[in-house]
Amino acid sequence: MHRRHKPSASEHKRDFAAQGGSLSASHNEMRSFFNFSQLVLSAGHLKTPPVLKHSKVTYFEVEILDVQSKKQICIVDKVPPSSTLLDVKHKFHKACPQWYPSRVGLQLERNGPYLKDSISIQSLAVSSIITLYFTDLGQQVSWTTFFLTEYSGPLLIYLLFYIRLSTIYDQVESMKNFRHPVVHLACFCHCLHYTRHLLETLFVHKFSGGHTPLKNMIKGCAFYWGFTSWIAYYINHPRYTPPSFGHRQVCFAALAFLMCEAGNHFINVALAQQNHSGFKACFPSPTYNPFTWLFLLVSCPNYTYEVGSWISFTVMTQTLPVGIFAFLMVIQMCLWAKKKHKLYLKRFYPEVRRKAAMIPIVF
């Protein structure tokens, strides 16, 4: 008879260890699978990577022709749609270095207006090729240089006549004649007027980098410098006669002059704050400052105060050259005020429609 073999204790242990090892291995596999499934669930749905699409950018070609001969000067290629006309001028300057951007005038039509530098190229495009006409605007100067040159001349010229140079007046006659107080007051008022203009040009007015032809500065300097020489010659002449009504006339006119100068300054400050504020553009409204209350009646009170200054100076000095200069200034200021009033009507119609341009109820 065969006797059943009983496993020994050592074999029992080996079988148990083998079964425990297989159980632990399967347990570890289950745990790793569970951890992986939890990771997938926490990460969300698996997304396929996005397919990169190659965006096609359309570039423009700007053909620049001479306005007179219609001959092609150059072609500015690869102009992005986001470019402005100023960017085109810079590229045109690289192709033709003799014409820098401020000297270049570009038009859509030969007899059309000059396009602004801030205009977008995409707004001009009808097709991928844009044709523009070029005009040489000549030598240009910045607006800051223009006003500083125009206003510094009268300030220095008047002082040369005030000290009565021997090359201008007879020294013997100058020493004999007594200077009336209005001569000193007129020098103070005249210098105050142009000093205010110079300081406002530097610290109040903000110019957007624009330019103007050099010939305009020459004409402006000839006008202001020439009239200043004529005015200063008569007022500072040894034979100058004081105003007819004496000190009352002088004091009243001087007070009106100072008030107009103060009003002009406060109006310019208000306009500068309105033009460069971060809020929505609106027509300046009067404040607690009484000099700004003129905004209730006219749309260009700075021109009103400017004219008032020269009329007061005419009454104070009672000289013909000052009167002629004041008359010309009234005409010029009226033309500027009417032009600016039309622009205000387009931008701020409800607020400006009942206002006059420069003089209340007139113009």
Q: Domain segments of the chain: what residues?
A: 60-138, 139-241, 244-362
Residue 48 is predicted with a pLDDT of 54
Name which of 243, 233, 286, 292 is nearest 267 in CA terms. 292
DSSP string, 244-268: TTHHHHHHHHHHHHHHHHHHHHHHH
pLDDT band at 203 (very low <50, low <70, confident <90, very high): very high
**3 state SS of 64:** strand
- Residue 178: pLDDT above 90? no
- Alpha carbons 213 and 208: distance in angstroms, whole number: 16
Dump pLDDT digits (tens) for 228-257: 999 999 999 999 999 999 999 999 999 999
- Residue 31: pLDDT above 80? no
Helices 181-203 and 246-275 pack at an angle, to 10 degrees, of 0
**3 state SS of 338:** helix
Q: Contact, 60 vs 125, CB < 8 A?
A: yes
pLDDT band at 352 (very low <50, low <70, confident <90, very high): confident
- Residue 156: pLDDT above 80? yes
pLDDT (mean) for 263-278: 83
Dump pLDDT digits (tens) for 32-90: 655 555 554 455 454 555 554 555 668 899 999 999 999 999 999 989 988 999 999 99
pLDDT above 70 as % of the chain: 81
Average pLDDT, the chain: 85
Q: How many Å separate Cα 325 from the centre of its chain?
A: 30
Residue 247 is predicted with a pLDDT of 94
- Alpha carbons 224 and 194: distance in angstroms, whole number: 11
Q: What are phi and psi of 355, to 5 degrees?
A: -100, 155
User: How do 129-136 and 60-66 pair as beta strands?
Assistant: parallel
- Alpha carbons 226 and 160: distance in angstroms, whole number: 14
DSSP string, 128-195: SEEEEEEEE--SEEEHHHHHHHHHHHHHHHHHHHHTT-TTTS-HHHHHHSPPPHHHHHHHHHHHHHHH
In degrees, rounded to 5, the angle at the alpha carbon of residue 354 between the alpha carbons of residues 349 and 355 is: 95
Dump pLDDT digits (tens) for 277-290: 544 567 888 899 99
Beta strands in 57-125 (DSSP E): 60-66, 72-79, 104-107
Residues 6+ apart with CB under 8 A from 352: 283, 299, 341, 344, 345
Residue 13 is predicted with a pLDDT of 47
Residue 240 is predicted with a pLDDT of 94
The residue among 173 and 56 whose pLDDT is bigger is 173
- Residue 165: pLDDT above 60? yes
pLDDT (mean) for 161-177: 87
- Residue 21: pLDDT above 70? no
DSSP 112: S
Tokens matching residue 16: 């148990």
Residue 10 is predicted with a pLDDT of 52
pLDDT above 90 as % of the chain: 59
Q: How many Å separate Cα 179 from the centre of its chain?
A: 45
Name which of 327, 185, 205, 199 is nearest 257 in CA terms. 185
Q: Contact, 291 vs 262, CB < 8 A?
A: yes
Q: What are phi and psi of 140, to 5 degrees?
A: -115, 150
Residue 90: CA count within 13 A, CB half-sphere: 8
pLDDT band at 11 (very low <50, low <70, confident <90, very high): low
Dump pLDDT digits (tens) for 113-154: 899 888 999 898 888 899 999 999 989 999 999 999 999 999
- AA identity, residue 132: L
- Residue 215: pLDDT above 50? yes
Residue 126 is predicted with a pLDDT of 85
Residue 2 is predicted with a pLDDT of 45
pLDDT (mean) for 267-279: 76
- Residue 7: pLDDT above 80? no
197, with CB counted inside 10 A (0-12, 13-18, 19+), is buried
Residue 16 is predicted with a pLDDT of 46
Name which of 326, 212, 346 is nearest 283 in CA terms. 346
Q: How many Å separate Cα 286 from the centre of its chain?
A: 23
Residue 89 is predicted with a pLDDT of 93
pLDDT (mean) for 177-200: 96
pLDDT band at 258 (very low <50, low <70, confident <90, very high): very high
Topology of domain 60-138 in CATH is Ubiquitin-like (UB roll) (3.10.20)
Residue 211 is predicted with a pLDDT of 86
Neighbours of 102 (CB within 10 A): 20
Residue 241 is predicted with a pLDDT of 93
Residue 354 is predicted with a pLDDT of 77
